[in-house]
Amino acid sequence: MNDGRSVEEVIASTHSVLPTDISLTTLFKQSTYTETRLVELLDSLLIGFVLIVGVLLVTLGARSAILVALSLPVTGAVTLFMMKATGLPVNQMSVTGLIVSLGIMVDNAIVMVDTIQRQREKGAGQFEAAEFAIKHLWTPLLFHINHSAGVCSHLFDAWCSW
């Protein structure tokens, strides 16, 4: 609530003004639900982290696996920091968006690392391989991100109008 009181405080203060045959019961607590989802998200992130590192160790090698795996906690931390800085709440919608965005970031990181690694195998230096990957992939990766954002933009519009 915007006045600093919790829902429980408002319910408790309302009991005194209600007739005795009417009672208030909390049916759903968004905060408890969101906390549960965040714990599940952290568990899923850990499982995803281990699976990503395992698969990438086999397919791309240790260095690439570590680079891609680092994109998960970095993206999550930056997103949560920016949400706090801009006053966006952590709720079911934002947690769902975070899950989707983390998946997109991991996909993009895998594509970039794979392209760089292929260029390195062809004899390119580190900077040349990275430059090649950026020049050839920035457009499709940008469209991938924008497409996902566009698909979800109506949710953001509806949320902002509350």
Give residue-wise pLDDT tens across range 46-57: 887 888 888 888
Distance CA 103, CA 144 (A): 12
The pLDDT value given to residue 160: 55
Is pLDDT of 138 > 50?
yes
Is pLDDT of 157 > 70?
no
Q: Where are the domains of the chain?
A: 30-160
127 band by pLDDT with thresholds 50, 70 and 90: very high
Distance CA 121, CA 116 (A): 9
The pLDDT value given to residue 52: 80
Contact 15, 24 (CB under 8 A): yes
- State the CB neighbour count (10 A cutoff) for residue 79: 17
- State the CB neighbour count (10 A cutoff) for residue 106: 19
The pLDDT value given to residue 26: 78
Torsion angles phi and psi, residue 156, rounded to 5: -65, -40
User: Distance from CA of residue 141 to its chain's centroid?
Assistant: 17
